[in-house]
């Protein structure tokens, strides 16, 4: 095979990834089919890719002989059913994060994947961002010693825009935003330290979003839209973010024990005004912290025999072109190289499973008074 023929499940939203595969520089992939229940998403895809086969039902594309691989970019609660069907059909799979919305669901996907012998990777594009790749290189170099503490603060500014105006805000679709939004950061903690979590305890609540507004209310029809700080009329995400059915937490924290004696914490708040992630890694020889707004990483290590004299280094991260800080074109290319050239993926199925397992265990803990939960 010298050109990978890809079918998309979900062509709106994250499904826009199709453009990187269809227009890959080396011409090694082409998007030949797309399934999406939304008329708007499907007709836009058909307009931009007129030669592609389009359908409402994902099952119509998985058995097509002109499709070698499938990318699942549908909402989280469909991932398990669709991934199992794709793997059973023997197609290679790019599966967006989170892998599934339960740990048992991830395990069913892993079992089917092992049985099917196809190639599979998870959409952990943060593993392809220059900022976090650099942080991993610094830790791997050993310059800050053996990692013992990790503190991650996730400021989900504009959280209402992306997480509380649509399906993301319901447990039945996501389980928890620790799993949905947090799956990336939990994975970063695992990837950069090289260790998985074995125990968590978590606290959280719904402090700002949700409320008494009707579930059917949209920003377009709302009489408070002109004074509501969260209003986004004319957007695909326009359900009222203060509606009754909202039941995921918007403010939460997890304490984690990782293998190798590492203590970590992850905090996520959806009603802060600013958007960035602040990571601190402390090792036996020094510490590293990133400053996303300044695109900077600072490393503090001992200059001589004393901790009082520090040798500070700063790394400035160059901006890269492409969505998600340039990560999306690279992860798409890696998927093609994984299937066509046998390249090992860095966003592995097991990593996908472990971040879901931590998110699920954390949701269980915080909804049961913060009791510790073991990760199996
Ligand atoms: N890796 C990343 O950076 C990243 C970024 C955004 C979203 N995501 C993931 O991508 C997935 C989609 O998120 P989104 O923000 O694009 O959501 P979205 O709601 O904006 O878009 C989802 C698309 O899937 C379609 N869809 C709905 N039900 C479907 C079904 N049963 N079968 C096929 N298509 C269906 C919708 O019509 C829509 O076009 C989620 O799992 C999310 O976690 C990943």
61 in contact with ligand 1, CB cutoff 6 A: no
For residue 308, pLDDT beyond 70: no
35 in contact with ligand 1, CB cutoff 6 A: yes
pLDDT-derived band at 307, boundaries 50, 70, 90: low
pLDDT-derived band at 306, boundaries 50, 70, 90: low
Q: Please report, rounded to a whole number, the percentage of residues in the chain having pLDDT higher than 70.
A: 97
97 in contact with ligand 1, CB cutoff 6 A: yes
- Nearest-atom number in ligand 1 for the CA of 97 is 43
The pick from 11, 74, 236 for probing ligand 1's pocket by mutation, whose C-beta has the most ligand atoms within 8 angstroms, reads 74
Q: Please report, rounded to a whole number, the percentage of residues in the chain having pLDDT higher than 90.
A: 92
Going from the Cα of 323 to the center of ligand 1, the distance in angstroms, rounded, reads 16
pLDDT computed for residue 305 by the predictor? 62
Residue ranges covered by each domain of the chain: 4-125+328-345, 127-326+353-374
For residue 114, pLDDT beyond 90: yes
118: preceding bond cis by omega (within 30 degrees): no
Going from the Cα of 33 to the center of ligand 1, the distance in angstroms, rounded, reads 16
4-125+328-345: CATH class: alpha beta
Mean pLDDT, the chain, rounded, equals: 95
pLDDT-derived band at 158, boundaries 50, 70, 90: confident
Protein residue whose Cα sits closest to atom 6 of ligand 1: 14
For residue 310, pLDDT beyond 90: no
For the chain, give the secondary structure using H, E and C: CCCEEEEEECCCHHHHHHHHHHCCCCCCEEEEEEECCCHHHHHHHHHHCCCCEEECCCHHHHCCCCCCEEEECCCHHHHHHHHHHHHHCCCEEEECCCCCCCHHHHHHHHHHHHHHCCCEEECCHHHHCHHHHHHHHHHHHCCCCCEEEEEEEEEECCHHHHHCCCHHHCHHHHCCHHHHCCHHHHHHHHHHHCCCEEEEEEEEECCCCCCCECCCCECCCCCCCCCCCCCCCCCCCCECCCECCCCCCCEEEEEEEECCCEEEEEEEECCCCCEEEEEEEEECCEEEEEECCCCEEEEEEECCCCCCCEEEEEEECCCCCCCCCCHHHHHHHHHHHHHHHCCCCCCCHHHHHHHHHHHHHHHHHHCCCCCCEECC
pLDDT per residue over 183-199, tens digit each? 999 999 999 999 999 99
pLDDT computed for residue 304 by the predictor? 65
The pick from 7, 13, 37 for probing ligand 1's pocket by mutation, whose C-beta has the most ligand atoms within 8 angstroms, reads 13
Establish whether domains 4-125+328-345 and 127-326+353-374 are of one fold. Answer: no
pLDDT-derived band at 2, boundaries 50, 70, 90: confident
Between 210 and 307, where is the model more confident?
210
Which tokens belong to 164? 């509380």
CATH superfamily of 127-326+353-374: Dihydrodipicolinate Reductase; domain 2 (3.30.360.10)
Protein residue whose Cα sits closest to atom 40 of ligand 1: 75
């Amino acid at each position: 095979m010298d050109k990978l023929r890809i079918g998309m499940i979900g062509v709106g939203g994250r499904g826009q990834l199709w453009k990187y595969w269809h227009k890959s520089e080396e011409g090694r992939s082409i998007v030949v089919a797309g399934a999406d229940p939304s008329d708007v998403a499907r007709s836009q895809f058909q307009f931009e890719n007129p030669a592609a086969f389009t359908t409402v039902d994902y099952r119509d594309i998985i058995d097509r002989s002109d499709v070698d691989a499938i990318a699942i970019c549908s909402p989280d609660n469909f991932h398990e059913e669709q991934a199992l069907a794709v793997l059973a059909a023997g197609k290679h799979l790019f599966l967006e994060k989170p892998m599934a919305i339960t740990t048992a669901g991830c395990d069913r996907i892993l079992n089917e994947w092992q049985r099917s012998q196809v190639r599979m990777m998870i959409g952990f594009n943060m593993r392809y961002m220059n900022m976090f790749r650099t942080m991993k290189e610094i830790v791997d170099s050993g310059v800050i010693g053996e990692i013992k503490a990790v503190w991650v603060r996730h400021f989900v500014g504009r959280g209402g825009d992306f997480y509380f105006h649509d399906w993301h805000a319901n447990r039945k679709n996501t389980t928890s935003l620790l799993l949905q939004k947090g799956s990336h950061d939990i994975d970063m903690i695992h990837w950069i330290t090289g260790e998985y979590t074995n125990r968590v305890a978590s606290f959280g609540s719904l402090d700002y979003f949700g409320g008494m507004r009707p579930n059917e209310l949209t920003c377009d029809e709302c009489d408070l839209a002109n004074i509501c700080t969260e209003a986004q009329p004319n957007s695909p995400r326009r359900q009222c973010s203060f509606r009754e059915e909202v039941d995921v937490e918007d403010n939460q924290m997890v304490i984690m024990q990782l293998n190798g004696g590492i203590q970590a914490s992850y905090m996520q708040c959806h009603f802060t005004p600013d958007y960035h992630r602040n990571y601190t890694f402390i090792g036996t020889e020094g510490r590293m912290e990133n400053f996303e707004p300044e695109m900077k990483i600072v490393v503090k290590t001992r200059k001589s025999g004393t901790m009082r004299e520090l040798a500070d280094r700063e790394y400035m991260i160059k901006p890269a072109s492409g969505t998600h800080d340039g990560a999306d074109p690279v992860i798409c290319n890696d998927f093609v190289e994984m299937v066509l050239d046998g390249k090992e993926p860095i966003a592995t199925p097991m990593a996908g499973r472990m971040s879901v397992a931590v998110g699920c265990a954390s949701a269980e803990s915080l909804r049961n008074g913060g009791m510790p939960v073991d990760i199996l």
